Amino acid sequence: MKFRDGMWLPIEGMRTEYAEDIYTITRRPDGRALSLLCPTKHVRSRGHTLNLATVTLDIEAIFDGVISVEATHWFGAADAGPHFDLFPAGKPLDGASISVSDKGTTLSSGSLSATVHPDQHTFDVCFHATDGSMQLTSLLNRSVGFAYSPAPSSPMQLTDMRNFKHYMFTQTTLSVGETVHGLGERFGAFNKVGQSVTLWNADGGTSSDQAYKNVSFWLSSRGYGVFIDTPDKVELEIGSERSCRVQTSVEGQHLKWYLIYGPSPKDILYKYAILTGRAGKIPSWSFGLWLSTSFTTDYDEETVNSFLEGMKARDIPVEVFHYDCFWLKAFHWCDFVFDAERFPDPESMLSRIKTTGLVKKVCVWTNPYLGQASPVFKMAAEKGYLLRRKNGDVWQTDLWQAGMGLIDFTNPEAVEWFVGCMKRLFDTGVDSIKTDFGERIPTEDVQWHDKSINPRKMHNYYAFLYNKIVYEALQNRYGNGEAVLFARASSAGSQRFPLQWGGDCESTPEAMAESLRGGLSLGLCGFSFWSVDIGGFEGCPPPWIYKRWVALGLLCSHSRLHGSNSYRVPWTVDNDDQSEQGCTKTLAKWTALKARLMPYLYSQAAAAIAGGLPLSIRAMCLEFPEDPTSWFLDRQFMIGSSLLAAPIFEEGGRVEFYLPEGRWTNFFTGEVKSGPRWFKETHDFDTLPLYVRENTVLVLGKECQKRTVYDYTSDVQVRLYHTSKGAKAHLVDSDGNSRGTLEVGAENAIIGRNLLNGDSEVFVISG
């Protein structure tokens, strides 16, 4: 939201007030916070204190490298929930200090400090490294304030606020060359400078400025991040109102955010994970290929069996089979009852496809809505399980399902009923849940069961509740390391409930690139695991797009074939072309490659969880923050810390990519290239630029390995890529348990070979 017309004028119909002075600085008794009383005009005499608004700026040391800033106009305004669930693993207890010098009053929180300018009439709060090595950002003149809409013509009008909207805003400075990234799964330009961004969950596909996953966190190339502590609608002008500032605004009387100092982006995400949480441990079977029925296709048990038997005959193992919407009866979504006409005995059906070895696990599609055609609707409405209007009616809409209602997750009894529905699915043989939708949450004329809830804040927060409830139900049934979702909507903290996928994309190369940008941005918000609809959701992909998307999708942390009104088994895409470059052989090769990578991937997954990092898709800037080019790369990514991949978006296989400083080895050919520089290559469908970073100890399954779950320490290949003494690889088993560390000693000798079993081999690829 913009408040000004250029630098000088207010926007018509808007009145803004800015903090001009820092009149008093009050220390909190525990020495961890400063409270700044900031009049909206310069106070040069006692008379100037009358008929004058103030903004209070509270600055608090949270833990090492993290400081919070809260701007408030009127303290009497209620700060209704819901509120983000912060510090889920506990809050660190770090020291803080306050000092005064000729430079001003400084609050320090370990490595990060905030210094308030000593001159009362100079509004300047500078955030900097405590050791003085780096100035991060500042709040300068006309950077903190509030706004009214419409503009009042007299102060007396504001004694009745019912006809006015009130906004709080702050503006942090942008330095020359600084870039901004994150803010959820955003499909536009990777660098957000110059953009207006609204954090408001919406079902808008992947080709607009809307997003399913709006996360109120952004990462700066200058060594800091900002987490905005509200699930409310947040509007950001990122160098788009004032080109040298990031403006954050929210409706209400309070605005709180945390500034997180790295200095490296990995350090920032680690600290952000302390605030909002890190991903749960995810099972190794989930890394295998997921096959879906697709959305509106016509299918029954016979169709499902034909898909799975066809994949087995083509030597493409399917780890998870997913039943999308029409496992349910039409108009009944989502009452959790299999359509009896298509699936008369679902428990036996699911048992058969597992015991025959066609598939290991089963996933079903759900959403938090309930169509009124279902007999369950009347019961849920009578018991108060559905969201109501202010007059007591059940809130209903015909958008999506006729007369549908929305589950009210603020009602404990509704949650208990919903979890009971999950348990019955688990009893039937369901192992995982696709938690679709959860974005179109109404905010007007609604009354939640918890009457303290602010409906506007509930809009984004609903996704967190929805996924938390389902994820914890899975944990309670299958164990903490076996729970896995396939979620679409998210907000800050939802990374705790993996995994997420990128939503409805078209079957085009442009949509591939959009999806990749979305994954990169979401990963920079602490989401460790992410997937995409291989082949694109909307439309029927031509064979070349399907195959290029297969390569991208199998290098994501998780891989699912899914579409809208057409199947995604490979033989339906290219008339069962059996050539080496056909869809079937291409899918088989990339599926097998991912299986071989599992010892590396699952070890890197543990590290990603611990650090609050994305596994894949990982933005280049996380690994190479000192390389300025890395902050602009949005057509390539890292898989963990050691593999670089560049998807191909052209039928002919031409691709341009960037290798940072160092020696890089082509995974497929062994060719070595040195960076930093750009390269061009041309590939068939069974390869792409996949390069191994120097000083990498890469543990792989043997070439015959096709499944993702096996012994990651037995019959493996250990490849040494330009390694020096001290290079390491951490070993885990398929349950995620640590098995020790391989380390390179003198002359490429491997310390810890006793950890390897069976016919394991060591190869010096380059040295």
Domain boundaries, the chain: 284-364+411-441+452-611, 620-766
Q: Which of 439, 506, 514, 623 is catalytic?
A: 439
Tokens linked to 733:
């088993």
The tens digit of pLDDT for each residue in 466-495 reads: 999 999 999 999 999 999 999 999 999 999
pLDDT of residue 660: 98
The tens digit of pLDDT for each residue in 699-751 reads: 999 988 999 999 999 999 999 999 999 999 999 999 999 999 999 999 999 99
The verdict on domain 620-766 having CATH code 2.60.40.1180 is: yes
Please tell me the distance from the alpha carbon of residue 119 to that of residue 15, in angstroms, as a whole number.
Answer: 27
* Residue pair 462/455 in contact by the 8 Å Cβ criterion: no
pLDDT of residue 476: 98
DSSP class per residue in 257-283: EEEEE-SSHHHHHHHHHHHH--PPP--
Q: Which of 178, 436, 506, 538 is catalytic?
A: 436
Closest C-alpha to 22, from 108, 114, 110: 114
The tens digit of pLDDT for each residue in 111-158 reads: 999 999 999 999 999 999 999 999 999 999 999 999 999 999 999 999
The tens digit of pLDDT for each residue in 59-85 reads: 999 999 999 999 999 999 999 999 999
Please tell me the distance from the alpha carbon of residue 28 to that of residue 478, in angstroms, as a whole number.
Answer: 47
Closest C-alpha to 142, from 226, 66, 244: 244
Please tell me the distance from the alpha carbon of residue 502 to that of residue 482, in angstroms, as a whole number.
Answer: 22
The tens digit of pLDDT for each residue in 101-116 reads: 999 999 999 999 999 9
Assess whether pLDDT exceeds 60 at residue 583.
yes
For residue 630, name the pLDDT band (cuts at 50, 70, 90).
Answer: very high
Q: Which of 504, 533, 574, 694 is catalytic?
A: 504
Q: Is 576 a catalytic residue?
A: no
Tokens linked to 614:
């994305």
The tens digit of pLDDT for each residue in 539-581 reads: 999 999 999 999 999 999 999 999 999 999 999 999 999 999 9
Assess whether pLDDT exceeds 60 at residue 767.
no
Please tell me the distance from the alpha carbon of residue 108 to that of residue 94, in angstroms, as a whole number.
Answer: 11
* Mean pLDDT taken over the chain: 97
- As a whole number, mean pLDDT of residues 323-352 equals 97
Cβ neighbors of 156 (< 8 A, separation 6 or more) are none
Assess whether pLDDT exceeds 90 at residue 94.
no
pLDDT of residue 140: 98
Give the strands of the sheet with 180-184, arranged side by side: 24-27, 33-39, 54-63, 66-72, 254-261, 224-228, 214-220, 180-184
Q: SS3 letters for 172-193?
A: EECCCCCCEEEEECCCCCCCCC
Q: Is 94 a catalytic residue?
A: no
Q: Is 237 a catalytic residue?
A: no
Please tell me the distance from the alpha carbon of residue 561 to that of residue 534, in angstroms, as a whole number.
Answer: 5
Please tell me the distance from the alpha carbon of residue 81 to that of residue 232, in angstroms, as a whole number.
Answer: 9
- As a whole number, mean pLDDT of residues 617-629 equals 98
Calculate what percentage of the chain has a pLDDT beyond 70. Answer: 100
For residue 766, name the pLDDT band (cuts at 50, 70, 90).
Answer: low
**C-alpha 734: how far from its chain's center?**
25
pLDDT of residue 93: 84
472-477 CB contacts, 8 Å cutoff, 24+ apart: 473/419, 473/422, 473/423, 473/426, 474/422, 474/426, 474/432, 474/433, 475/280, 477/422, 477/423, 477/426
Query: 284-364+411-441+452-611 maps to which CATH number?
Result: 3.20.20.80
Give the strands of the sheet with 530-531, arranged side by side: 530-531, 500-501, 485-487, 432-435, 361-366, 320-323, 289-292, 559-561, 533-534
